[in-house]
Amino acid sequence: MELNGEERRATTYCVTGASGYIGSWLVKSLLERGYTVHATLRDLAKSQYLKSKWRGNERLRLFRADLQDEGSFDDAVKGCDGVFHVAASMEFDISPDHANLDSYVQNKVVDPAIKGVRNVLGSCLKSKSVKRVIFTSSISTLTAKDENERWRSIVDETCKTPIDHVLKTKASGWVYVLSKLVSEEEAFRYAKERGMDLVSAITTTVSGPFLTPSLPSSLQVLLSPISGACLFAILSAVNKRMGSIGLVHIEDICMAHLFLMEEPKAEGQYICCVDNIDMHELMLNHFSKEYLCKVHKVDDDLEERQSLMKPKISSKKLRDLGFEYKYGIDEIIYQTIDASINFRFPTLDHRLKQ
């Protein structure tokens, strides 16, 4: 249910993590549609660059808040009709050789993830004005393999990655996966116990243009077959867990957040994915042939899988609710490469074939 112009002007939303890729674009989208926005950042100095990218600043208020500082979201959330909880830790890996690894993970990953969620939701509860919270989750919390390690034909919101599997395998990017799993689980537990309306938007690989002063990590991961970045291991790990790479355009993921905020029937979790593509196809058919990019050698595992039917990462639940995607895979890839070249991403530019 989309609000009209007058309703938008009377509506205030809070966006946590406003200096990040999704958060900054979500602030932009909300301001352009006439909403009043309370944006939180750990470091207000980072807002100076973004304020030049955001139009409608007269309806924007900035707040310093930290997930680990209890009560720091109180002022930002006060008087808001809804909260988009986008802020999250972006730590990907810890060396398995780390001394007292289990203790370190508990103290530095699990406990902070739980505390951060409780802080934000606690502020929402105290506000008395927040009607719904949209929690930004990640496809990293899902898996295309069943308990017997066989490929599923369809991946939906029920295909959770077991926490003990994450801790056992410690695949590339496992710290981020663990943090997202723990924080989402705690968010729903906390909300259910207190009668709060919480909905989760499960993002796939978000790509396209960006507002941030540096290249977002999701774009670095997607472009890693070209750039040769160490994040290629994360892309490979995602492909091995999901059988493909799910994609969604930055504008679509922000519109999905807003749609879920304002759709009365929304409940539970929703995968946001316009389509998924095998990494082999992404590298050889898009990056190499279409955009004439030099790519990493495709490993034997990928060669073997290209003849298999890839699991479908399903956004059926969100589509059935009435959401429509604007951008397909071809346009997402084109805009991602174009934005990164314009940004002069150094390890991308010199790898383009002449």
Catalytic residue check, 180: yes
DSSP symbols for 202-232? EE-EEES---SSS--HHHHHHTHHHH--TTH
Beta partners for residue 249, in sequence order:
207
Amino acid identity for residue 60 in this structure: L
Angle among Cα 10, 15, 19 to the nearest 5 degrees reads 135
**Which residue has tokens 């710290």?**
175
What is the Rg, in whole angstroms, of the alpha carbon atoms belonging to the chain?
20
Other beta carbons within 10 angstroms of residue 99's beta carbon come to 7
Q: If 0-12 CB within 10 Å is exposed, 13-18 middle and 19+ buried, where does residue 354 land?
A: exposed
206-242 burial: b if 16+ Cβ within 10 Å, else e: bbbbbbbeebbbbbbbbbbbbbebebbbbbbbbbbbb
Task: Say if CB 65 and CB 42 are below 8 A apart.
Answer: yes
Name the 3-class secondary structure at 128. coil
Catalytic residue among 180, 297, 310, 353: 180
Calpha distance 330→340 (Å, rounded): 16
Tell me 293's DSSP state: B
Active site residues: 180
